[in-house]
Amino acid sequence: MHVQKTSTDSSACLILDSKMTSILPDGSGSAAPPASAAPAVSAASAVTRDPSAPSIPSAPSARSRVRRVAENARYERETLYAIVDAAFLCHIAFADEQGSHCIPTACWREGEALYIHGSNGSRMVKHLQQGAQVCVAITHLDGLVLARSAFNHSMNYRSCVIYGQFVAIDRPDEKRASLDAFMHKIAPGREHEARPGNAKEIAATTVLRISLDEAACKVRSGPPQDDVQDLCLAVWAGVLPLQTVQGAAIAALDNAVPEPTYVRQWHSQCAD
């Protein structure tokens, strides 16, 4: 896959929101505070919520609550699952005696957990098995938002941050089933065709999962949000969309097998 421009309409922070704010729920970054604070609303003047209205999900914990540009926060499972399921890669941030690290690795979802795998000898894998607290981040970049003011530029994106601890899958049959699920995510049906891992390969591999119970999403879409005083400026404003597109499959030089269904389906979904 590659990222291409289109003409249609962790411990590290990504500067994505308007006013150059962070997508991470803790709001860390160099964002300047608003010029004026909103007036306080007394309990007496607060609007009473209709008890029959659908409940609005809230942050599962204090550390997962989105503080900066909180109106872009999403806590419902449907949004979280969609962001995770659209990703093949996540970044895992953790700290050990050598300092802080943020490692990219393949990922997949089964039910209400995010799964990863790695070699038993991996530094990260060994550290996570000790119950280390981690932060897992996934981001999909959908567009560059060009405003009339440099500080109102932004990005359109879908992101999630997951907090907690990874747990190892110990039983070989469960490890095999999870690795089959990973293969199915990559190419549905290939788990029935490729040679499965043998006993030695399975024993040398660690499969880990982390609950999705403590997670927060942040999503932005739409046009730039210019300040009123900037609307008269003779500066182009709008969105430069970005999307990940599938390219044509490239067979190995020594391949002698006809294209299976999932490869033909991949071709059918390729961009013109």
Q: State the pTM of this model.
A: 0.80
- DSSP code for 164: E
Q: How many CB atoms lie within 10 A of CB 129?
A: 16
pLDDT, the chain, mean: 85
Residue 233 has pLDDT above 60, yes or no: yes
Residue 235 has pLDDT above 90, yes or no: yes
Per-residue DSSP letters for 176-218? HHHHHHHHHHHSTTGGGTSPPP-HHHHHTEEEEEEESSSEEEE
| Residues 113/15/104/58 CA torsion (nearest 10 deg) | -10
Residue 17 has pLDDT above 70, yes or no: no
Q: How would you label 147-178 residue by residue, b for 16+ Cβ within 10 Å and e otherwise?
A: bbbeebbbbbbbbbbbbbebeebeeeeebbeb
Q: What is the mean pLDDT of residues 122-127?
A: 96
For residues 235 and 222, give the distance between their C-alpha atoms in angstroms, rounded to a whole number: 18
pLDDT digits 0-9 by tens, 127-145: 999 999 999 999 999 999 9
Tell me yes or no: is domain 14-22+58-235 CATH 2.30.110.10.
yes
Residue 272 has pLDDT above 60, yes or no: no
When comparing pLDDT for 255 and 38, which is higher?
Answer: 255
Q: What is the mean pLDDT of residues 208-215?
A: 98
Residue 47 has pLDDT above 70, yes or no: no
